[in-house]
Homo-oligomer: A and B are copies of this chain.
Amino acid sequence: MDLFNKYKKLLEEAIKAVHERKFFAAFPEQPSPKIYGEDADEEGRKKYESHLGKRFEELLQQGRASWGGSEQSPYLQEPLNITYPVTPVDTLIANSEKAFEQWRKITLEDRAGILLESLEGVKNRFFEIAYATMHTTGQGYMMAFQASGPHAADRALEAIAVGYEELSRFPHSAFWDKPMGKFNIQLEKEWRAVPKGIGVVIGCSTFPTWNSVPGLFADLITANTVIAKPHPGAVLPMAIVIAEIQKVLKNNGLDPHICQLAIDDNASLISKELAENDKVKVIDFTGNSEFGAYLEGLKGKQVFTEKTGVNSVILDSADDIDKVAANLSFALCLYSGQMCTAPQNFYVPESGVDTPNGKVTFDEFAQKLKENIQQLIGNPKAAPFVLGAIQNEKTYKRLSDIERSNKVLLKSTTLENPMFKNARTATPVVLEVEAEDSDLYGKELFGPIALLIKTKSTAHSIQLAKDLAISQGAISCGAYTINPEVREEIADQMALAATPVSFNLTGAIYMNQNAGFSDFHVTGGNPAGNASFTNPEYVLRRFTWVGHREPARV
């Protein structure tokens, strides 16, 4: 198999990038015809449309019991009517166990080559995946392309790279020669990196590939077999990814069941049955904290979670408060606050925010944020694409509930989408909250919800943000300060809460954004989870080093 050599240079570059943590991307993020071909977008859209109302027949897996699927487009608010092979859990496990005996015995280089070839196959379907993502998650076109396509593929490559490096970090064999005075003890030693068994990757409804492919490829590079169980609301993007992997496995004479798709629906979820199966040793999960905590409590499993968190913005001082308000309002509107990195709690001291032109009061800042949001949502050329649609009916309902019983600075409205008249949309709601109302702001309120919290001081803001990150988890933090001592205090205290801080972002970069090969994502120091894209621990726990030894033949 010469696939490894085909991708060796890419793999080396990726490993280098992981350690340098400068900008690196193997998959271009612009859906540009120059890069991806003149007709790529149009063809991708047509391929997406060709799935609608049909059976997804591409998978190479055996043992189907029936066909099922329950996806709905948030843009059309109607079912996609795509069905997928529904395979009983016992069959999935039996398939996987059998495939495990094959997969664990091929070399690391061969595994790496196959996985990198699979990513190349996925790349050819980025546009199809983008439309599949739009119509399952409600993301705008650009985000759907970037997050589910190149960014997800880069995160998958990162997992392959880190896995490859960790598996190569200790020798396969060594000659151990111990002087004992009158003689030497000489042993031949060998080390094997033993996969844990079967991995299960449970996906979420908002980022179906971005949150799932790192765990999937981390399982595979470390020689585990894997069963991906997407959220029933967002199956198609992962089905396409898995079809591509299965195709490459088959083309290389391997069992496609090394990587399988599991399907369930909201009426009969199979995640527990999968997770509790004895043969399942590794679990990756993105979703709610309750189910994540249940998974973390299972004995004898390596569990990687990305659960909920409360992301804070600490406002202390700024050179240009208008640019701050503009940046934050965009961060809030982006995919209607449905990103795990979106800001929710904005801590503003009751004395206001320092600027070179004097204090900006709490109310003035609130007004600026409100105006910036109104300006953005009032722009029909931008707003529908930035905000996208609301994936889940529950998110929609949360907005009206919260408006009923709190001090509303800006009410949520719907937003007309020129392409999809029936899109489920909602603009951000902004509330004013007292620091005492921790019942309100002390939990994740998923969706486009901003809480402006009046604190006693910046020190108080830091304390609240830190405490919440420690108790409820946090995945990102924004902070604005031009005071170096305050900056270090925020950096230090939020680091203790394991929360990465984006300082003083203005312009076209937002605290929500997270770059492969540079930003670690959810490194495990607070309750938001430990599914770190991608640090060494994220791959190390998927295999075990075992060393054997024997007297050397001399």
Contact B546 A22 (CB under 8 A): no
Q: A189-B518, A499-B546 are in contact. List 12 more A-B contacts (CB 8 A).
A: A19-B169, A20-B174, A23-B178, A185-B509, A296-B299, A495-B548, A500-B547, A502-B548, A502-B550, A506-B551, A535-B540, A536-B540
State the CA gap A192–B169 with chains docked (Å).
23
Residue in chain B with minimal CB distance to A532: B545
| Chain A positions 157-177 with a Cβ under 8 Å from a chain B Cβ | 166, 169-171, 174-177
Q: How many angstroms from the CA of A430 to the CA of B91 in the assembled complex?
A: 46
Are B187 and A21 in contact, CB atoms less than 8 angstroms apart?
Answer: no
Mask of A532-547 contacts with B, CB within 8 angstroms, 1/0: 1001110011001111
The answer to the question of A525 belonging to the interface, with a C-beta cut-off of 8 Å to chain B, is: yes
Known contacts: A180-B508, A502-B550, A503-B550. The answer to whether A171 contacts B21 by CB under 8 A is yes
Say whether, besides A504-B551, A508-B185, A551-B504, A498 and B546 are in contact (CB < 8 Å). Answer: yes
Task: Please tell me if A520 contacts chain B, counting CB pairs below 8 Å.
Answer: yes
Q: B498 touching A544 by the CB < 8 A rule? A: yes
Nearest-neighbor residue (CB-CB) of A197 within chain B: B496
Cβ of A194 under 8 Å from chain B: yes
Q: Is the CB of B548 within 8 A of A515?
A: no
Q: Is the CB of B518 within 8 A of A176?
A: yes
Q: A21-B174, A170-B19, A170-B21 are in contact. Are A194 and B503 (CB under 8 A)?
A: no
Chain B residues contacting A175 (CB-CB under 8 Å) are 22
CA–CA, A535 and B545, complex, Å:
8
A178 CB contacts on chain B under 8 angstroms: 23, 515
Report the separation of the CA atoms of residues A196 and B502 in the bound assembly, to the nearest whole angstrom: 22
A270 touches B (CB below 8 Å): no
Taking CB as reference atom, which chain B residue is nearest A499? Answer: B546
Interface size on A, residues (CB 8 A): 69
Distance A190 CA – B501 CA, assembled complex (angstroms) = 10
What's the minimum C-beta distance from A297 to chain B, rounded to whole angstroms?
A: 8
CB distance from A462 to the nearest CB of B (A): 14
* Shortest CB distance A260–B (Å): 21
Bits for A519-533, please: 1 = Cβ < 8 Å to B, else 0: 110011101000010
CB-CB under 8 A from A89, the residues of chain B are none
- Look across to chain B and name the residue whose beta carbon is closest to the beta carbon of A477: B548
A515 B23 Cβ-Cβ under 8 A: no
Query: 9 closest pairs, A vs B, by CB?
Result: A525-B544, A503-B550, A495-B546, A23-B178, A21-B174, A501-B548, A498-B544, A537-B540, A194-B495
Q: Could you say which of A170, A176, A532 has the most chain B C-beta atoms within 10 Å of its C-beta? A: A176
The complex places the Cα of A523 from the Cα of B550 at a distance, in Å, of 19
Other-chain residue from B189, B523, B546 in contact with A544 (beta carbon distance below 8 A)? B523
Residue of B nearest to A550 (CB): B503
- Whether B546 pairs with A500 at a CB distance below 8 angstroms is yes
Interface membership of chain A positions 423-436, coded 1 if the CB is closer than 8 angstroms to chain B and 0 otherwise: 00000000000000
A: which residues have CB within 8 A of B?
19-23, 30, 166, 169-171, 174-181, 183, 185, 187, 189-192, 194, 196, 296-297, 299-300, 491, 494-496, 498-509, 515, 518-520, 523-525, 527, 532, 535-537, 540-541, 544-551
Q: List B contacts of A300 (CB < 8 A).
A: 527
Q: Which of B185, B192, B508, B523 contacts A546 (CB 8 A)?
A: B523
Q: Do A500 and B176 have beta carbons less than 8 Å apart?
A: no
**A21 near B189: Cβ-Cβ < 8 Å:** yes
| Complex interface: chain B residues within 8 A of A549 (CB) | 500-503, 519
Q: In the complex where A20-B171, A506-B551 touch, is A541 in contact with B545 (Cβ < 8 A)? A: no
Is the Cβ of A495 less than 8 Å from the Cβ of B192? yes
Contact call B170/A498, Cβ cutoff below 8 A: no
Interfacial chain B residues near A509, Cβ < 8 Å: 185, 187, 551
Q: How many angstroms from the CA of A59 to the CA of B527 in the assembled complex?
A: 37
Contact pick for A23, options B23, B176, B502, B518, CB 8 Å: B176
Asked if A536 contacts B166 (CB within 8 A), the reply is yes
List chain B residues, Cβ under 8 A from A20.
Answer: 171, 174
Shortest C-beta distance, A244 to chain B (Å), equals 27
The answer to whether A546 touches B518, judged by C-beta atoms less than 8 angstroms apart, is no
Alpha-carbon separation in the docked complex, A428 to B299 (Å): 35
Residues of B within 8 A of A22 (CB): 174-177
- CA A193 to CA B67, docked complex, whole Å: 48
A10 to B540, CA, bound (A): 27
Q: From A169, which residue of chain B is reached at the shortest CB distance? A: B19
Name which residue of chain B comes closest to A300, CB basis: B527
25 pairs across A/B with beta carbons < 8 Å? A21-B170, A21-B176, A23-B178, A169-B536, A176-B515, A176-B518, A180-B508, A187-B509, A190-B491, A192-B491, A194-B496, A194-B498, A297-B297, A491-B548, A500-B546, A500-B547, A502-B550, A505-B550, A518-B547, A520-B545, A520-B546, A520-B547, A525-B546, A535-B540, A537-B541
The residues of B that contact A502 with a CB separation of less than 8 Å are: 548-550
A488 shortest CB reach to chain B, Å: 10
Question: Hey, which chain B residues are within 8 Å of A496, CB to CB?
Answer: 194
